[in-house]
Amino acid sequence: MKKITPFLWFDTQAEEAMNFYVSLFKNSKVLGVSRGPDGRAFTVSFELDGQEFMGLNAGPQFKFNEAVSMFVNCEDQAEVDYFWNALTADGGEESMCGWLKDKYGLSWQIVPKQLGELMGDADPIKSKRVMDAMLKMRKIIVADLQKAHDEAR
């Protein structure tokens, strides 16, 4: 086990969530499930693209919120679309600026690498146009960021 592992508190869906997440990310796997006397999962451990996670079924006392989110660095628009569509399906919720909540209430940031590249332009006018465009988006659209960046003023 790694020194630091994100630990996720679920009401009753830890195993379902783990299987869902593992199905979405390449190089992912279930590491283990411990079950209580009733046969239901109590804790789960899994790996998403090399990052270990643990989950616990512990009841409804605590809910996820936007103070903690999973940041997914995407290569291109196709990857943004893939994760966005999968994570908002079946009850997920879109938010602003590339943020969403999945059907379990966990917050994710689905961000194309191009956002950082374009916002990091040495020309502050170009980078501000990119930021302004991103602030109007739900799902981030790379072509719209590029258009804002390249816009002649």
Which tens digit of pLDDT belongs to each residue from 55-113?
Answer: 999 999 999 999 999 999 999 999 999 999 999 999 999 999 999 999 999 999 999 99
Which of these, 93, 12, 86, 23, lies nearest to 55 by C-alpha position? 12
Q: Is the pLDDT of residue 1 over 90?
A: no
pTM above the 0.75 mark? yes
Q: Dihedral sign, CA of 143, 146, 150, 151?
A: positive
pLDDT score at 111:
98
105 with 62: CB under 8 angstroms?
Answer: no
Which of these, 67, 83, 86, lies nearest to 75 by C-alpha position? 83
pLDDT class of 2 with cuts at 50, 70, 90: confident
What Å distances lie between residue 79 and 58, 90, 92, 108, CA to CA? 33, 19, 18, 14
Alpha-carbon radius of gyration of the chain: 18
Q: Which domains does the chain have, with CATH numbers?
A: 1-62 (3.10.180.10), 64-153 (3.10.180.10)
